[in-house]
């Protein structure tokens, strides 16, 4: 199966945020807080060519895992 880049749900360029400002806007935090969260690996961001990047889909899955873990803890 080949990747069809014309399908928007598979377009990595649309899914990837570039720069700490874009990440901060997406997660609703200040630039400083977003940088701290990225540096401490509390969000699934990565550096490429000296710039922070994060995929929207990966962040959504990360939040879903945190929510599931919290629900499991609350139920126990």
Any idea which residue has 């014309």 for tokens?
6
Is residue 38 a contact partner of residue 20, using CB atoms and an 8 Å limit?
Answer: yes
Quickly state the pLDDT bin for 37 (edges 50, 70, 90).
Answer: very high
Length of the chain: 76
pLDDT tens sequence across 44-56: 999 999 999 999 9
Q: Does pTM surpass 0.85?
A: no
Where helices occur in 1-76 by DSSP H, the ranges are 12-15, 20-27, 31-39, 56-75
Backbone angles phi, psi at 42, to 5 degrees: -85, -15
Q: What is the mean pLDDT of the chain?
A: 88
């Amino acid at each position: 199966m080949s990747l069809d880049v014309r399908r928007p749900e598979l377009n990595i360029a649309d899914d990837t945020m570039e720069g700490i400002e874009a990440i901060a806007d997406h997660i609703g935090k200040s630039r400083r807080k977003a940088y701290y969260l990225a540096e401490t690996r509390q969000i699934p961001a990565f550096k490429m060519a000296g710039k922070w990047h994060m995929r929207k889909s990966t962040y959504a899955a990360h939040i879903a895992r945190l929510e599931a873990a919290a629900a499991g803890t609350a139920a126990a």
